[in-house]
């Protein structure tokens, strides 16, 4: 069971694929599956998401395409921490992230650039080699996004790479907006 966010409500949900995936799913008449909700028993199909009612009493099914269009994984903003995968999702959503386990004060990561890249004119490059490449290729070049780090000493490090410890850690957090 995972948490997913439907603005502005966070719900508990699990995807149903077979009997035993959720304790409230029962086999109904004709061999189909059903779950008890506010309106009584409702059919649930393999692949549907089962969402807990906000009042904590009962459940309701949601088709997978509707669920994916409506909900996104909930991102931790407190001391519960999140995985590196969730931290990457937060970066792609434009948020800053950090690890509770980092020793440096005020360190965080951000995604610089736009997914898919952006054309940059030759005269905007810092590196003379990149500028020359852009000029040789029509006067601009596509710059791909990268993860940057605000260091403990106040610099921006371009092209930050995760260590294995960072990738396996579950103490990632969203940094509140400044």
Measured from the Cβ of residue 143, the count of other Cβ atoms closer than 10 Å reads 17
For the cut 90, the answer to whether the pLDDT of residue 2 exceeds it is no
Eight-state DSSP code of residue 25 = -
Q: pLDDT value at position 159?
A: 92
pLDDT, average across residues 76-89: 76
For the cut 70, the answer to whether the pLDDT of residue 85 exceeds it is yes
pLDDT, average across residues 99-123: 87
pLDDT, average across residues 95-104: 85
pTM: 0.56
User: By three-state DSSP, how is residue 122 classified?
Assistant: helix
Q: pLDDT value at position 78?
A: 53
User: With the C-alpha atoms ordered 99, 156, 141, 137, is the resulting torsion angle positive or negative?
Assistant: negative
Q: pLDDT value at position 76?
A: 54
């Amino acid at each position: 069971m995972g948490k997913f966010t439907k603005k502005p409500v966070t719900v508990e949900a699990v995807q149903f694929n077979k009997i035993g995936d959720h304790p409230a799913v029962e086999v109904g008449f004709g061999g189909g599956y059903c779950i008890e909700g506010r309106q009584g028993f409702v059919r649930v199909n393999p692949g549907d998401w089962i969402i807990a009612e906000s009042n904590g009493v009962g459940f309701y099914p949601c088709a997978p395409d509707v669920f994916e269009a409506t909900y996104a994984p909930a991102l931790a903003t407190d001391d519960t921490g999140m995985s590196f995968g969730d931290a990457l999702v937060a970066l792609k959503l434009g948020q800053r992230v950090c690890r509770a386990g980092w020793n440096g004060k005020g360190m965080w990561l951000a995604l610089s650039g736009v997914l898919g890249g952006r054309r940059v004119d030759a005269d905007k490059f810092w590196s003379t080699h990149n500028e020359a490449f852009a000029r040789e290729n029509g006067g601009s070049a596509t710059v791909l996004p990268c993860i940057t780090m605000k260091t403990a000493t106040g610099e921006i490090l371009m092209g930050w790479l995760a260590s294995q410890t960072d990738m396996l850690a579950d103490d990632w957090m969203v940094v509140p907006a400044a």
